[in-house]
Structure 1
Amino acid sequence: MSRELKLRIISGIVMAAVILTATWYGGIMFRAIAGLLSLLIYYEWSTITKLSDTNPTGYAWGWFSVAVMSGNTIFGESSLDLPLLSGFAITAALFPILRGPNWWLVGGLVYSALSGISLAAIRGEESTGLVAMLFVFAIVWATDILAYFVGRAIGGPKLAPSISPGKTWSGAAGGTFFGLVAGGAVTLAYHGSISLTVLLLALALSIFSQIGDLFESFIKRRFGVKDSSNLIPGHGGFMDRVDGLVFACFTVFLIAVVHAAVTGDVPGSGDGILLGF
């Protein structure tokens, strides 16, 4: 076994142990992980897109914005998440307008901050939040892992050759299938039954997790970068590891926000946005 593979395995085990432990305990431990993830993603995004060179003022504003929102994710009120994010993003949009077209600042700010916000919102403080978070993890991880193995075994037409040459349609279909199986297994273990709504949600999360993977690949290809960073031994950067997860969480968060807006059924503080999961 090569040294790089050993590092990859050890790093993967450590990351999984930390994330699952924080998910189990919830509370400030999980919110701290979510807030830290936002900061790490902004660091990697701004490094990839060279924000410090192209827009130093906006780059500094982005750090301030993400730091404040991460602090609110950990210690503040979830009701302030979207107002803060909207205010900081609108202000950040003024920098490209005044200094030239650099919308990577706004994109990075929203992407990084919403990553932590959506994770914390899904987990909440209740036991249902734990199950909901495990539901998301199971779908994303099964999709990612099995898409790789199915794609390698079957091959066939490429999914998006100009963005990620290694991905195939067979891998995408296999990943989606096993994502549905994993999400269904978590639901069955908790509820004892599976509804069509849950299956449709699992399908959406699997598809959008793969879109998230392609999205990050597009950014790296656009800027000629192989890994988002070298912060994780053997794995590259945090964006490389959570690209599918954050898009799946964005999907859950958006569905929950739209549902709350339409029905007026807003979970209480700490309930988690999938209280009815």
Structure 2
Amino acid sequence: MSLELKRRIISALIMAAVVLAATWAGGMPFQILAAAISLLVYFEWSTIARLTERNFTGNLVAWVALILLAANIAFGDPAMSMPLLSGFVITVVLIVMIGGGTWWLPGGLLYAGLSGVSLAAIRDGGAAGLAAILFIFAVVWATDILAYFIGRALRGPKLAPRISPGKTWSGAIGGAVSAVIAGSLLTFAFFGRLSVWIVALSLILSVASQIGDLFESFMKRRFGVKDSSQMIPGHGGVMDRVDGLVFAGSVIFLLALVSGPLRGHVDVSVAEFLFGQ
């Protein structure tokens, strides 16, 4: 076994242990994990896009905003996280509009901030919150793993050759089918039932996960980098590991957020939106 493979396996085991322990515990441990992901994602985003060089003042404001948001995610009022993020993003948008700069700045703040806010909101609560975050994990991981193996086995037409030459339509479809199976099995394991609703959401989130993967590939190609960072030995950076999870988690969180007023409720949790719990 090569040294690089050993580093990759050890890193994967440590990451899995930390994430699963925090996921099982829920509450503040998971909120701290979500806040840390937010900060690390923005660090990598700002490094890739060279935001300090391109807009030093705007990037400094974004960092202050994200630190305040991360503190609220970890230790504050969950209901305030989305209003805070919205206000901070609008502020940075105005800075770019008035003073000039790059739109990668507010885009990074939104991407990183929504990562932490959505993950913390999905896990919020007891057993239902645990089922919700495990559902997202199952769909995203099934998509990622099976898309890779099925794509390599069947090959065929490329999905997006200019962005990510290794991805194929066979892999994308195989990953989506695998996600539907994984999401359905997890729901049945927790609640003893299946539904067209869960199948549809599994498919939507699988597509979102793959779009997230393609988006990060586009960003790295746009700025000429191979990995988002070298933070995780053998794996690259945090963004390389959570790109699909960020998109899928953000999509389900926003859908749940919008569904509240449509149902006549002020607030609908992600677990309630997913399972009716």
Determine the C-alpha separation between the residues in 1 that align with 2:10 and 2:145: 17
User: Secondary structure of the equivalent of 1:113?
Assistant: helix
Q: Once the two structures are superposed, what CA deviation does each residue of 1:168-201 show, in whole Å capped at 9, x if it has no partner? A: 0000001111111111110010111101111111
Deviation digits for residues 58-82 of structure 1 (CA, Å, limit 9, x no counterpart): 1111110110111111111122112
- Show the counterpart of 2:251: 251
8 A Cα contact 1:146 1:171, kept in partner: yes
- 2:207 aligns with 207
For the 8 Å contact 1:228–1:238, the answer to whether it is kept is: yes
Q: Percent identity?
A: 57
Query: In structure 2, what residue type is equivalent to 1:69?
Result: L
1:229-248 mapped onto 2 (5 Å cutoff): 229-248=229-248
Match of residue 272 from structure 2? 275
Aligned length: 274
- Measured after TM superposition, the shift of residue 86 of structure 1 is 1.2
Partners of 1:217 and 1:99 in 2: CA distance = 29
Task: Write the deviation string for residues 57-112 of structure 1: whole angstroms up to 9, x where unpaired.
Answer: 01111110110111111111122112111111111012222332411010000000
Backbone CA RMSD of aligned residues: 1.1
For each residue in 1:101-152, what CA deviation from the matched residue of structure 2 results, as whole angstroms up to 9, or x when unmatched?
A: 4110100000001100000000002110001100000010010011000000
Kindly indicate whether residue 2 of structure 2 is the aligned counterpart of residue 2 of structure 1. yes
Instruction: Please report how far the alpha carbon of residue 275 of structure 1 lies from its aligned counterpart in structure 2 after TM superposition.
Output: 2.8
Contact 1:212 1:246 survives alignment (8 Å) = yes
SS of 2:270's partner is coil
Q: Which residue of 1 aligns with 2:264?
A: 264
Note the 1:2-151 alignment, pairs <5 A: 2-151=2-151
Q: Secondary structure at the match of 1:165?
A: strand
Displacement after TM superposition at 1:16 (Å) = 1.1
Distance in 1 separating the partners of 2:271 and 2:131: 9
User: Structure 1: which 5+ runs fail to align?
Assistant: none
Please give the alpha-carbon distance, in whole angstroms, between the structure 2 residues aligned to 1:170 and 1:24: 34
Asked if structure 1 preserves the Cα contact closer than 8 Å seen for 2:38 and 2:116, the reply is: yes
* Inter-partner Cα distance in structure 2 for 1:143 and 1:266: 33
Contact 1:7–1:233 (CA under 8 A) maintained in structure 2? yes
d(CA) in 2 for partners of 1:100 and 1:58? 9
| Contact 2:257–2:267 (CA under 8 A) maintained in structure 1 | no
- Residue type of the partner of 2:224? G
Segments of structure 2 that go 5 or more residues without pairing to the other structure are none
Contact 1:8–1:233 under 8 Å retained in 2:
yes
**Contact 2:55/2:101 (CA < 8 Å) preserved in 1?**
no
180-189 vs 90-99, which deviates more? 90-99
CA contact (8 A) 2:54 2:101 kept: no
1-structure distance, mates of 2:82, 2:191? 31
CA deviations over 1:18-41 (Å, ceiling 9, x no partner): 111111010100000000100000
**What is the SS of the residue equivalent to 2:142?**
helix
**Partner amino acid, structure 2, of 1:158:** K
Note the 1:175-186 alignment, pairs <5 A. Answer: 175-186=175-186
SS of the residue 2:272 aligns to = coil
Q: TM-score under structure 2 normalisation? A: 0.96
Q: Which amino acid is 1:100 matched to?
A: G
Whether the 8 Å contact between 2:69 and 2:81 is mirrored in structure 1 is yes
Normalised TM-score (structure 1): 0.96
State the distance in 2 between where 1:159 and 1:101 align. 33
- Residue 267 of structure 1: how far off its partner (Å): 4.7
Instruction: Give distance in 2, aligned partners of 1:82 and 1:182.
Output: 30
